[in-house]
Amino acid sequence: MSRSTLSVVCAVAIGTALVLAGCSRGDTADAAPPVSQFAEPVSITNCDVTAEFDAPPRRIVSMNDHVTEVLIQMGVADRIVGMGYRNATPTAETAEAFAKIEGLADEYPTKEQILDLEPDLVVGGMRSAFDDKEGRSRQTFAELGIPTFLFSEYCGSGFPDIGMLENDFSQLGDVLGVQEAADTLTEGVIDGLDAVAGELVRVTPTPTFFYDSGQDVPMTIGGVGVGQLIADHAGAANIFPEGERPYLDTTWEIVGERSPQAIVVLDYGDTSAQEKIDFLKNQPIAATTPAVRQNNFIVVPLDDFFESPRLVTSVETIARSLHPDRFQS
């Protein structure tokens, strides 16, 4: 494809990771709809990394599938030059655009794959997207003049409320020059959560175990991530509200002691949801819980447990299963 010269000079200050976007390692960019300069530079601080943009990025690498979906929904699919998790199953609304984007790897692309695309923005949805051991740290990209953005659930402070999503989407909207689309996307999430909340007024939350994976050592959601927010909005009392990470390891003995009345099974990976359910039914301690004895399992795709509009789907799925009497259809 034909390319146009980029003339933005990049500056990096390592202490604060200050970078100017719009600069790439090469001197050309794929032909794409023209993106004008900002009237004034746009500056954001994301996970303690400050970046300044003279123009909206036009060569974006998306590291996670839920990030790709969010960017598509913000209307910048034509600017995504590559994405991780090429085997992911997108939503019906994003599938067509998703299929047109180059998939770089079944999971994360390498640093070299990313650099070959000469991006002017790399966006990750999990801390592992910027794994220093793999040479993909945010500082490394900053040193190369490439700004990055990390969805804030994985900044280390948890996901206290939906305001974190609002801020992330707003910052992306500012940086990408699509603030109206970002605001519309945020409003859709808030309206969806409010609609479910309206059905659950004065409901008694159901003690619920969120089973991610693990047989000897079960993994569940902790009290600081999107999973906890989903539980709170769905009328589920997460039996493991402690922890400083979105996910934590526990023991079957504690699961048994906390006696969940429902189990949400996160569906992903090589082990199917049904295989997880079969395991729980045969796990000596889990089998004694009210949830297993009453066959009260709720299957939710892991893709619906990230900082994206999909979290509304998981909230509604869980709420309808736990409190069916509150919903008319």
pLDDT band at 329 (very low <50, low <70, confident <90, very high): low
Look at 293 and 36; give whichever has higher pLDDT: 293
Task: Give the residue-averaged pLDDT of 202-227.
Answer: 96
At residue 8, the pLDDT reads 35
pLDDT tens for each residue of 136-162: 999 999 999 999 999 998 887 778 899
At residue 194, the pLDDT reads 97
Q: Does residue 28 register a pLDDT over 60? A: no
Token code pair at residue 198 = 């309206």
Q: Does residue 9 register a pLDDT over 90? A: no
Average pLDDT over the chain reads 89
At residue 124, the pLDDT reads 97
- Percentage of the chain modeled with pLDDT above 70: 89
pLDDT tens for each residue of 187-203: 999 999 999 999 999 99
Least confident of 113-117, 186-190, 223-227, 248-252: 223-227
At residue 35, the pLDDT reads 57
Q: Does residue 14 register a pLDDT over 80? A: no
Q: Does residue 36 register a pLDDT over 80? A: no
Task: State whether the Cα torsion 162-164-165-170 is positive or negative.
Answer: positive
Q: Does residue 23 register a pLDDT over 70? A: no
pLDDT band at 16 (very low <50, low <70, confident <90, very high): very low
pLDDT tens for each residue of 251-289: 999 999 999 999 999 999 999 999 999 999 999 999 999
Q: Does residue 301 register a pLDDT over 50? A: yes
pLDDT band at 7 (very low <50, low <70, confident <90, very high): very low
Look at 31 and 235; give whichever has higher pLDDT: 235
Integer Cα distance of 293 and 290 in angstroms: 5
Q: Does residue 89 register a pLDDT over 50? A: yes
pLDDT tens for each residue of 230-261: 999 999 999 999 877 889 999 999 999 999 99
Termini Cα distance of the chain? 51
At residue 250, the pLDDT reads 97
